[in-house]
């Protein structure tokens, strides 16, 4: 496993003249809704003509800095919704970084439109999603981290809820449910995940855009992976850490033909990623895989029975 040194990325940015720390997003007592560019014609509700009320944040409290990174590449039809869902949280101490890999579909124009409210934006060819995310986090000065892909978006009030949990509990990792939105049919499905325990950490389950963590436990992403990059990250980042599940959706993922998670074209790449993850020079072979799967099925049935959760319906 060859993990990059994020300090080398950071040094390159500094060598090229970037001043750090980056500026935080401008905070306004009345919120950013009326300051941001008007939404496209016909767009209503969150995050188009609604915002998280700034009043949910105690103005006399020094809120810890939250760094959000968005890797972007040719997803202009979703990108503006992503950006607005970050900015209209109206979080009072936000560092927002957008790393675009040289899109040619109109994404650049969207990013430039919101540039005054973005801490740092880059538009140039990179080595893919993992590289973009690592470059973004190499610039972070935040106390807490998360990334949101350019075809996903946060739900209203999420930053207030998540950061309040961090402050009150002191946990390392906060995660929640997510919603899958089918772009073609308009149908939505809520992914209600079970509490994430170390023993079952090898079972994929976390909803990536609904995860947040303390910056002190941050780990770089393995850049050779193309699809299972978040799954592999959790194996290193989350195990042994204190965590808290928020039993409500925190994000929405768009289901479309180009999404890695749902594209039939990516099946071979998913398999290649998993071969790399469980190779001897990475996480190694799992000899008790059948036992883990068997116990997980029992766990799902018990949670469904006693907590009326049915995550696979």
Work out the angle at residue 311's Cα, subtended by the Cα atoms of residues 307 and 313, and round it to the nearest 5 degrees: 115
- Confidence (pLDDT) at 304: 79
**How many C-beta atoms surround the C-beta of residue 259 within 10 A?**
18
Bridge-partner residues for 70, per DSSP? 98
pTM: 0.94
Tokens of 88: 């209209």
- Confidence (pLDDT) at 15: 98
Q: CATH code for 6-281?
A: 3.90.550.10
pLDDT average per 10 residues of sequence, the chain (313 residues) = 96 98 96 97 96 96 98 97 98 98 96 98 96 98 98 98 98 98 94 89 94 98 95 96 97 81 73 93 89 91 72 46
Residue with tokens 């919101």: 114
Closest CA to 201 of 166, 173, 179: 173
Q: List the domain boundaries for the chain.
A: 6-281
- Confidence (pLDDT) at 313: 46
Closest CA to 221 of 200, 242, 205, 235: 235
**CA separation for the pair 170, 144 (Å, rounded):** 12
Q: Are 183 and 154 in contact (CB under 8 A)?
A: no
- Confidence (pLDDT) at 311: 47
Beta-sheet pairing, 152-154 with 144-147:
unpaired
- Confidence (pLDDT) at 20: 98
With residue 154 as reference, give the H or E element that holds it. strand 152-154
Tokens of 114: 């919101």
Give every CB contact of residue 25 below 8 A, 6+ residues apart in sequence.
Answer: 87, 91, 94, 95, 96, 117, 118, 119
Give every CB contact of residue 15 below 8 A, 6+ residues apart in sequence.
Answer: none
């Amino acid at each position: 496993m060859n993990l990059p040194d994020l300090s080398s990325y950071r040094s390159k940015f500094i060598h090229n003249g970037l001043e750090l720390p980056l500026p935080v997003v401008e905070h306004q007592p009345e919120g950013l809704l009326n300051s941001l560019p008007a939404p496209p014609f016909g767009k209503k509700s969150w995050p188009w003509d609604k915002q998280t009320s700034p009043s949910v944040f105690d103005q006399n409290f020094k809120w810890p800095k939250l760094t959000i990174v968005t890797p972007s590449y040719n997803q202009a039809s979703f990108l503006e919704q992503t950006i607005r869902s970050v900015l209209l949280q109206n979080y009072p101490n936000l560092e927002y970084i957008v790393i675009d890999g040289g899109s040619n579909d109109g994404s650049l124009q969207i990013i430039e439109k919101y540039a005054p409210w973005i801490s740092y934006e880059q538009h140039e060819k990179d080595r893919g999603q993992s590289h973009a995310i690592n470059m973004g986090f190499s610039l972070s000065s935040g106390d807490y981290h998360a990334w949101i892909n350019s075809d996903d978006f946060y739900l209203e009030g999420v930053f207030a809820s998540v950061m309040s949990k961090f402050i009150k509990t002191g946990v390392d990792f906060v995660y929640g449910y997510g919603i899958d939105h089918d772009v073609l049919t308009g149908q939505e499905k809520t992914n209600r995940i079970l509490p994430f325990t170390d023993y079952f950490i090898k079972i994929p389950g976390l909803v990536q855009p609904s995860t947040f963590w303390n910056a002190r436990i941050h780990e770089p992403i393995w850049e050779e992976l193309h699809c299972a990059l978040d799954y592999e990250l959790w194996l290193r980042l989350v195990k042994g850490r204190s965590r808290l599940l928020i039993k409500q959706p925190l994000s929405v993922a768009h289901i479309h033909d180009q999404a890695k998670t749902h594209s039939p074209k990516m099946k071979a790449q998913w398999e290649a990623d998993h071969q790399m993850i469980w190779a001897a020079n990475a996480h190694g072979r799992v000899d008790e895989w059948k036992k883990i799967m068997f116990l997980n099925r029992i766990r799902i049935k018990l949670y469904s029975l006693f907590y009326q959760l049915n995550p696979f319906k």
